[in-house]
Structure 1
Amino acid sequence: MNLAELRQSNHLLLEGISGSRAYGLDVPGSDTDYRGVFILPKKKFYGLYYTDQVNSATNDEVFYELRRFGELLCKNNPNILEMLNIPSDCVVYRHPLFERFQPDDFLSKLCRDTFAGYAITQIKKAKGLNKKIHNPQEPERKTPLHFCYVVKNQGSQPLLNWLAENQLRQEQCGLVNIANMRDIYALFYDHNGDLGFSGIIQKESANEVALSSVPKGSSPMAILSFNKDGYSTYCRSYREYWDWVKLRNEARYQNTLEHGKNYDTKNMMHTFRLLDMAAEILSEGKVIVRRLNREELLAIRRGDFMYEDLIAKAEEKIAHINELYETCTLPDTPNQEKIEALLYEVREEFY
């Protein structure tokens, strides 16, 4: 089943506007997102191919099959709990059977982890973005040569500087392991280029230094150290940085640069929204979708606050949420038996 088939059928239980418009945080140009719940036609449900979710390519329209809805409800998934508490002006369609799912019946202390836990991942993401902006990686990937050093007097010298200073080529170098010395090598040089040395690296894409067969009695020209751990750390950072560049939302990134605060303001706004919602659930037993502190949250989105101040404030909220968790009277987890019974009753009556 796809979106077109779903909309042509009569199998919707709920369709509503979600995201920024439901939160009351929409601004000019904001997208309109839709979330909902549906029941598969009886033949498809009992057949070979179960469809648990139907969504658009951009995920601005997402509909969950009743069973998948129940599974996520058992986990206190924020998107699912928000659908149960959708503001009345955002309801596009609600089947009478869906009224059996009363929001207060499914809240539990698990919401601390699902709401605040996700917010914490967004804080880490904001920290990572801040780090990436301040520590960009050059497009040209470094090789092990950039992490090699030769002994010079009582210190060391970068290999590439040493080669240039002595007018030597890395391709004519030969390395031999030095026993009991990790990543330390004797470096030999073939001035005539006829000894068949492997070079320090054999190709630009190499991740290891190369070893060579050196004639007995040859004297090393230098002692070389390969900072292998440093090279591995660099490769991971390089890969993460350029994967991020490839996948980032360029419009949002440019907005981040324009306001000069070096964090994704939209992500940070939703981080605070989630933290506030987690606190409200634990203290009041309610999921409040339409945010009452709209102006404060939009100020975060505009970049009115310094990154360090927001991180400090978020950490205070997390500490407060943990305190609320200790005194919260909600059950530890949702009542799965009740959810299962509702899934059975609603599906049976619908069919």
Structure 2
Amino acid sequence: MANRLRQRLVDDFAAWAGVDDAEKARVGGLLRGRADPTLWRSGDINQLFMRQVAAREEVEPGLAEHGLDDVRGFIRFLDVTDQMHPGSARPAALVKELDRLSAKFPAAMTGKPSKAPAPPEEPARITAGDESAQVGQSALLRDLAALAGWVGVEGRPRDDRGEVRKADRQGLRSALGLRDGTDPVLTALWLAAVEFDVIRLHRTRVTAGPGAGLVREVLAGTAPEREALDLWMGLADMLIHPVTPLHSEKGAEQIRDWLDPWTPLFLDLLSEQDGPAELDGLIDRLLREQAGRLPVGDPRLFAGLAATSVRNILATLARHGAVTVAGCTSDPAREAEAAAWGTTVWAMWPESGTTIELTALGRHLVRRT
């Protein structure tokens, strides 16, 4: 998935600085792979240029000559527009790091080949059909609208990690109808809101971003059809491939990388079904067909992890409108409990006979991915 936050920052920087397409491409290339493009700690500049960029086999044209100045301009942009992460080093210290590389970096880039210019991208063609009418039914979009409303135009203080403060979490949970202990749900929603510019982080505060307006329009049914579908598809992609939080526990990213292909593989199987499929049976089939992906040390443990991950992501996709699930025992108390935890009954209490089917939007999603 394209890093929308990074692309938004590159676009905003280009508009703010009035740079040409070549510099914009260089800045985008330099920011590639940074988990948070607004966070620049002491030593990050040297790590970026001397360890990462210098190790690339090909680089953007002009990067050796202009890369240091490009990042200098980007740092100034973050500082002036109040978007620098509070955990960053002082801009003056970052500029000194750039100055110290003025001779070392060009020397390290001597003889490095440049990438050929990328051909212009064809605009995506979206066949909307009946799908666009379903976009506004997404519970995730309603959650994002509630988050933006809670943050408000004036904004709220943020913590030094760029997240909602602990003192404010109970209020946000109440606004979203969640219970205590749902911090992972809040974190996932917060990351999605930042990624899609529904909220915008500043040095010490968070405010509602321009993307909040699009979310409201989609829910009201007044957004342009293509923009509504693009937003829905982008959010669905983020649900299928969850972003690892910047401050996650050690080893979390490796586990996520291993889990990443399981849900797309399940959706491929589901798309081949003619009508509803038995959920447990299809997950069992997935595990049999993909047994080679299970580590030999403890395949049963990892099969359970994969199955749980698939179920949890399917629960988020169901709330988003990509799949429908039937055959679960109706229980209002359990439904309320699951909703308070940000999930679904059938994900929390699996039962035999549960069936799953792609919606029209879900089939559109599988065709596009």
The two structures have a TM-score, normalised by structure 1, of 0.22
* Structure with the largest fraction of strand: 1
Of structures 1 and 2, the one scoring higher in RCO (CA 8 A, sep 6+) is 1
The two structures have a TM-score, normalised by structure 2, of 0.21
* Structure index of larger Rg: 1
* Structure with the largest fraction of helix: 2
